[in-house]
Structure 1
Amino acid sequence: MVRIDGSKGEGGGQVLRTALALSLVTGTPFTITNIRAGRKKPGLLRQHLTGVKAAEAVGAAEVSGAELGSRELTFRPRALAAGNYHFSVGTAGSATLVFQTVLPALLMAQGPSTLMLEGGTHNPAAPPFDFLQKAFLPLVRRMGPSVEATLERPGFFPAGGGKFRVDVKPAPLKPLSLMERGRVLRREVKAVVAAIPFDVAKRELDTVAGALKWRPDEFRTEELKRSPGPGNVLMAEVESEHVTELFTAFGERGKRAEEVGGEVVHEVKRYLDAEVPVGEHLCDQLLLLLALAKGGSFRTLPLDGHAETQLETMAHFLDVKVQVREVEREVREVEVRG
């Protein structure tokens, strides 16, 4: 039985999600205490509980402590099973984080699976659906498995109501080397608004255009007519020869459009200036994939709290060595060996 202190590292839901994913893959039971101790509302929220329930279904697991607000959980997987699964958060909590919890296990299953997930698809502090579709899943496919995601309807905080489908065809994960970004092939900045003034999108794009000096045809707006609730997301996509990265910021009540635009500008400039292929948020997801493949390497920005937490949690379940080397002040080279 692995014992994990959830207050370590970034002190949020990352520890729990990674522990659930690797417990399913390895068949190793675990107990976690101090769940989300570093957050304003510690313990399991609806999206974390849905992730636990999803892992329970995929692994036919025995679980204790799976209740809203619970700060301690014991999880014992019994049999990993492919299949057709439907998981609903029931709030605007992130459905994409629920997906990331069970995907590693379904990549290792003995047959194809279909996931239908409902909840938030475009949430602050979580990867939006577009990041999964354009940045993360293409790398999964390059490593062997086939994973296709389709957005049926977006769901913004606080209304939620989003829905997407994922089709998974497992295959052995192959090591991946991603040391160069290559030539930039395409750039796009898109401001999406739903049930809020269209002027917000224009001001966001004007802010980004003024700072990045990209071509006018690389900026566009999208107004959603049938969203379950109001919402706004600004996304900058950089498609290069060897990788695509996506940077996002979300509009919120009381937050100026210029501030949203400034957040995206900062992330894009930092990424492009460092000339690395892997951005900050893609790093921790890629770490897990390479650990499961028992090999690989990539260049990225300095590791953030999520990536450091990923390394600590992986060490409980997997016998892999991860070396992080500083190449320049803003460049790190990561190597994973089985």
Structure 2
Amino acid sequence: MIEIDGQAGGGQLLRTALALSLCSGEPFAMENIRGKRERPGLLRQHLTAVEAAAQVGDADVDGATPGSTTLRFSPRAVHGGAHRWTIGTAGSTTLVLQTVLPALWMHGVEASLSIVGGTHNPQAPSADFIAHAFLPAMARMGLDASFALDSHGFYPAGGGEIRMALRAGGKPAPVHFGERGPVLEQHAEAIVSAIPAKIGERELAIARARLGLGDGEASLREVRRAMGPGNALSIRFRTEHASAVFTGFGIKRVTAEAVAERACAEARAWLAADVVADSYLADQLLLPMALAGGGSFTTLAPSAHTRSNAALIEKFLPVEFIYTDHGRGRWTIAVER
């Protein structure tokens, strides 16, 4: 059994361990879960990820209770079929999805997944990121899946829903994401729910100014079906060989201009570095490439989060990640057996 100290990590360390355990069949024990956080131990959104992984992997689980700082997880066999999970808070639906998706793909099973909770959360990939950045990259590696955002869920009300249909197919294939190529499309969309539309319009004004958006490259979406108020600015790019999404989330006591400035700054840094993966997509590419047993991608300077995820993957799988600094903020991360 693989032993993991979860003191320094957050929920992502747990979710990555669950995904790796399902993929490899290796059981694990994690101690000191979220030990350095203000509220240590398992929260509702973490328990939903454990529940989802246990159902998909027919796993024996010990310690899956609110506030628990220890967890033991022993999978048996990965099963597809129809699954529906409700987080019950604004916890991220996309993070639960990414906990079980690699194993379902790796084992070539069909599955229909529905997850209810937050779809546009700070500190988590948005549903727009999954649809327009993550899944296009996975499709190049062989994933055959469809994705839908049925309703938006913002913090703190949640209540949004995403769906994925995964068709049976092969394992992830090695791909080298090297050159990004020219930008073919760019678009900024401000999403508002139960708040004044002018907030989204102010965000779009910043996006137009900072990114040079032209006519038809910015739009406002007023959401009617969300359970509570919320706001997000989604900036999307499609290039010859890559896609990227940068998201700003509206929160109390932060101006619309500040929300937009931060998202635009991330987009401009990615554009200037001429890389395929921003830091968020880099995190998501590590495990599929490890399962493929090879591949590489250009990215910005690897974050501590990226390196810790890579180190955990190396504990479960016989792979090594190689980091190469090309200067001027451009790096390559490669995986080797």
TM-score class, shorter-chain normalisation, is over 0.9
Which SS does the other structure have where 1:93 is aligned?
Answer: coil
Farther-moved stretch of structure 1 (52-61 vs 135-144):
135-144
Partner of 1:157 in structure 2?
155
Structure 1 runs (4+) greater than 4 angstroms displaced = none
Which SS does the other structure have where 1:259 is aligned?
Answer: helix
What letter matches 2:160 in structure 1?
G
Which SS does the other structure have where 1:255 is aligned?
Answer: coil
Q: Is the contact made by 1:82 and 1:109 (CA closer than 8 Å) also made in structure 2? A: no
Q: Is the contact made by 1:81 and 1:110 (CA closer than 8 Å) also made in structure 2? A: no
Does the alignment pair 1:77 with 2:71?
Answer: no
Classify 1:28/1:275 alpha carbon distance in 2 versus 1 (closer, same or farther; 3 Å). Answer: same
User: For 1:272 and 1:145, how far apart are their aligned partners in 2?
Assistant: 26
Partner of 1:41 in structure 2?
39
User: For 2:36 and 2:254, how far apart are their aligned partners in 1?
Assistant: 24
Give the C-alpha shift of residue 140 in structure 1.
1.4
Task: Output the TM-score relative to the length of structure 2.
Answer: 0.97
User: For 1:85 and 1:160, how far apart are their aligned partners in 2?
Assistant: 19
What letter matches 2:133 in structure 1?
A
Which SS does the other structure have where 1:97 is aligned?
Answer: helix
Give the C-alpha shift of residue 110 in structure 1.
4.5
Classify 1:141/1:212 alpha carbon distance in 2 versus 1 (closer, same or farther; 3 Å). Answer: closer
What letter matches 1:2 in structure 2?
I
The Cα offsets for residues 231-258 of structure 1, whole Å up to 9 and x where unpaired, read as 1000110110111100001001111101
What letter matches 2:23 in structure 1?
V
Farther-moved stretch of structure 1 (132-141 vs 213-222):
213-222
Partner of 2:60 in structure 1?
62
Give the C-alpha shift of residue 37 in structure 1.
2.4
Give the C-alpha shift of residue 24 in structure 1.
0.6
Partner of 1:286 in structure 2?
285
User: For 1:275 and 1:203, how far apart are their aligned partners in 2?
Assistant: 28
The number of equivalent residue pairs is 336
State the identity as a percent: 45
Give the C-alpha shift of residue 329 in structure 1.
3.5
Which SS does the other structure have where 2:326 is aligned?
Answer: strand
Give the C-alpha shift of residue 79 in structure 1.
1.4
Q: Is the contact made by 1:140 and 1:147 (CA closer than 8 Å) also made in structure 2? A: no
The Cα offsets for residues 181-237 of structure 1, whole Å up to 9 and x where unpaired, read as 111100001100000011100111112222222213211111112211101000110
The Cα offsets for residues 48-98 of structure 1, whole Å up to 9 and x where unpaired, read as 100000000011101011011111100011111111111110111111100
Partner of 1:259 in structure 2?
258
Q: Which 5+ residue runs of structure 2 have no aligned equivalent? A: none
The Cα offsets for residues 285-313 of structure 1, whole Å up to 9 and x where unpaired, read as 10111000000011000111321121111
Which SS does the other structure have where 1:307 is aligned?
Answer: helix
Partner of 2:49 in structure 1?
51
The Cα offsets for residues 88-122 of structure 1, whole Å up to 9 and x where unpaired, read as 10111111100000001110234311101111111
User: For 1:59 and 1:33, how far apart are their aligned partners in 2?
Assistant: 21
User: For 1:24 and 1:238, how far apart are their aligned partners in 2?
Assistant: 33
Task: Output the TM-score relative to the length of structure 1.
Answer: 0.97
Q: Is the contact made by 1:14 and 1:306 (CA closer than 8 Å) also made in structure 2? A: no
Q: Is the contact made by 1:36 and 1:42 (CA closer than 8 Å) also made in structure 2? A: yes
Give the C-alpha shift of residue 172 in structure 1.
1.8
Q: Is the contact made by 1:28 and 1:77 (CA closer than 8 Å) also made in structure 2? A: yes
Partner of 2:6 in structure 1?
6
Q: Is the contact made by 1:190 and 1:234 (CA closer than 8 Å) also made in structure 2? A: yes
Partner of 2:306 in structure 1?
307
What letter matches 1:279 in structure 2?
D
Farther-moved stretch of structure 1 (110-119 vs 274-283):
110-119
Farther-moved stretch of structure 1 (168-177 vs 128-137):
168-177
Which SS does the other structure have where 1:187 is aligned?
Answer: strand
Which SS does the other structure have where 1:328 is aligned?
Answer: coil
Does the alignment pair 1:122 with 2:104?
Answer: no
Q: Is the contact made by 1:211 and 1:265 (CA closer than 8 Å) also made in structure 2? A: yes
Which SS does the other structure have where 2:333 is aligned?
Answer: strand
User: For 1:37 and 1:177, how far apart are their aligned partners in 2?
Assistant: 37
Give the C-alpha shift of residue 20 in structure 1.
0.3
Q: Aligned-residue CA RMSD in angstroms?
A: 1.1
User: For 1:111 and 1:262, how far apart are their aligned partners in 2?
Assistant: 42
Q: Which 5+ residue runs of structure 1 have no aligned equivalent? A: none
User: For 2:264 and 2:21, how far apart are their aligned partners in 1?
Assistant: 38
Which SS does the other structure have where 1:303 is aligned?
Answer: coil
Partner of 1:174 in structure 2?
173
User: For 2:259 and 2:281, how far apart are their aligned partners in 1?
Assistant: 20
User: For 1:68 and 1:235, how far apart are their aligned partners in 2?
Assistant: 33
User: For 1:90 and 1:19, how far apart are their aligned partners in 2?
Assistant: 23
User: For 2:304 and 2:247, how far apart are their aligned partners in 1?
Assistant: 18
Partner of 2:216 in structure 1?
217
Which SS does the other structure have where 2:77 is aligned?
Answer: coil
Partner of 2:133 in structure 1?
135
Describe how 1:177-192 pairs up with structure 2 within 5 A.
Answer: 177-192=176-191
